[in-house]
Amino acid sequence: MISKILVPSDGSKAAQRAAEYAVDLASKLNASIIILSVVDQRSLIAQTAPASETPRHTIEPLEDYLKEAAESYAGEIKKLCDKKGVAATILIKTGHPVEVIVKEAKRSKSDLLVMGSHGRSALSATVLGSVSYGVIHNDKSIPVLIVRA
Q: pLDDT band for position 127 (50/70/90)?
A: very low
Tens of pLDDT along 45-66?
555 555 566 555 555 577 777 8
Cα(95)–Cα(1) distance, integer angstroms: 30
Cα(26)–Cα(86) distance, integer angstroms: 7
Beta bridge partners of 90: 35
Q: What is the pLDDT of residue 75?
A: 95
Mean pLDDT of the chain: 84
Q: What is the pLDDT of residue 125?
A: 45
Q: Is the pLDDT of residue 123 over 70?
A: no
Q: Is the pLDDT of residue 148 over 90?
A: no
Cα(90)–Cα(36) distance, integer angstroms: 6
The two beta strands, 48-49 and 60-61, are antiparallel
